[in-house]
């Protein structure tokens, strides 16, 4: 009898332990994944209901991402996969990831609407992989939701803030370059939010602030800095002062890699606001942040600055 009871208790404990792996975490957690030179975007986001999201998979990143997912115990799959725009350092590895057979627990992946981001071989490869695996590509514009619900009584949302619909109908109205038409996502849990900027620039930020979803920018403490924290031709940069101040950003990820320094103007704007930032070119390039939706963001390691 004692043996039987002991066995039952052991079995119950194992079941609890097993089920707890799959139980809702109640945390919003973002991981910056890096590989090689690190100048590319790849982010894993743990959502409070214990589903997983990946935003951007660059060329050659798929094995690294899969290894990280397995190491973190997420081999069961991801639910949401988003590509911000057609450049190789953002979506060049999505087709490889899809074709790898790693489980995507959804029939949709997410991408910005607009002809400007539907021209490259990387985009075509992504479309082919989706078609081969029964996935559809949902094209998003500002105002669209991927998630709009609550969890544990707290707001739980993923909303698109850019590109704006009137800009991506094609023809003369379309944005002039893929970076400008990047998907911008706001990920919210409770009072805490993340802004995923893709390769957007300051004038995109200004358009968001002047548009119908400007109110969404407030209370976004974490920013994925647009365009790797770099200067584009013509000196175009992200992290406008008005945008940083409107959002109330206090933490940032910069995917500059170990071959290019963060643009000095962006550095000065971040530091002037005492914004902690992590660089994909510092240390091993990997870092994470998490929150329970009410408490301040917990830092997985010391930031590059301060």
- Show the domains of the chain with their CATH numbers: 25-299 (3.60.15.10)
SS (H, E, C) 49-73: CCCEEEECCCCCCHHHHHHHHHHCC
Q: How far apart are CA 182 and CA 255, in angstroms?
A: 15
Return the percentage of the chain with pLDDT > 70, whole number. 92
- What does pTM read for this prediction? 0.92
- pLDDT of 229 reads 98
The gap between the terminal CA atoms of the chain, to the nearest Å, is 61
Q: pLDDT tens digits for 200-250? A: 999 999 999 999 999 999 999 999 999 999 999 889 999 999 999 999 999
State how far the alpha carbon of 228 is from the alpha carbons of 67, 214, 256, 262, 267, in Å: 24, 23, 5, 8, 12
Q: What is the average pLDDT value for the chain, to the nearest integer?
A: 92
pLDDT tens figures, 285-303: 999 999 999 999 999 999 9
Cα–Cα distance measured from residue 94 to residue 122, given in angstroms and rounded to the nearest whole number: 8
CA-nearest of 200, 234, 236, 237 to 217 is 200
Give me the pLDDT at residue 293, please.
98
Calculate the alpha carbon distances from 245 to 199, 201, 260, 275 in Å.
19, 16, 26, 11
What is the mean pLDDT of the segment spanning 96-111? 97
- Listed in order, strand segments (DSSP E) in 71-180 are 80-82, 108-112, 136-140, 145-151, 154-162
Q: Give the separation between CA 263 and CA 231, rounded to whole angstroms.
A: 6
Assign 24 a pLDDT band (cuts: 50, 70, 90). low
Task: Label residue 15 by pLDDT band (50, 70, 90).
Answer: very low
Confidence band for 168, pLDDT divided at 50, 70 and 90: confident
Burial class (CB in 10 A: 0-12, 13-18, 19+), 15: exposed
Q: How far apart are alpha carbons 24 and 17 in whole angstroms?
A: 13
The pLDDT-based confidence of 82 (bands split at 50, 70, 90) is very high
């Amino acid at each position: 009898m004692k043996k039987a009871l002991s066995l039952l208790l052991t079995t119950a404990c194992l079941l609890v332990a097993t089920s707890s792996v799959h139980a809702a975490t109640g945390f919003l957690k973002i991981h910056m994944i890096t590989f090689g030179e690190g100048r590319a975007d790849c982010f894993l986001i743990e959502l409070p209901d214990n589903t997983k999201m990946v935003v951007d998979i660059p060329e050659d990143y798929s094995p690294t991402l899969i290894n990280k997912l397995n190491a973190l115990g997420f081999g069961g799959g991801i639910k949401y996969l988003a590509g911000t725009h057609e450049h190789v350092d953002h979506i060049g590895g999505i087709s490889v990831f899809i074709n790898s057979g790693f489980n995507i627990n959804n029939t949709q992946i997410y991408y910005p609407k607009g002809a400007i981001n539907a021209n490259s071989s990387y985009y075509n490869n992504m479309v082919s992989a989706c078609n081969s695996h029964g996935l559809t590509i949902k094209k998003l514009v500002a105002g669209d939701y991927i998630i709009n619900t609550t969890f544990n009584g707290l707001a739980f949302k993923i909303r698109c803030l850019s590109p704006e619909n009137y800009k991506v109908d094609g023809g003369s109205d379309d944005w002039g370059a893929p970076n400008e038409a990047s998907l911008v996502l706001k990920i919210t849990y409770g009072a805490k939010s993340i802004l995923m900027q893709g390769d957007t620039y300051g004038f995109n930020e200004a358009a968001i602030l002047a548009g119908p979803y400007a109110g969404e920018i407030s209370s976004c403490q974490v920013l994925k800095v647009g365009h790797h924290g770099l200067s584009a031709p013509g000196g175009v940069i992200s992290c406008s002062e008005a945008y940083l101040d409107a959002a109330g950003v206090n933490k940032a990820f910069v995917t500059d890699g170990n071959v290019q320094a963060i643009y000095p103007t962006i550095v000065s704007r971040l530091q002037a606001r005492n914004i902690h930032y992590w660089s994909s070119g510092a240390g091993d390039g990997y870092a994470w942040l998490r929150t329970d939706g009410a408490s301040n963001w917990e830092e997985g390691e010391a930031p590059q600055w301060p």
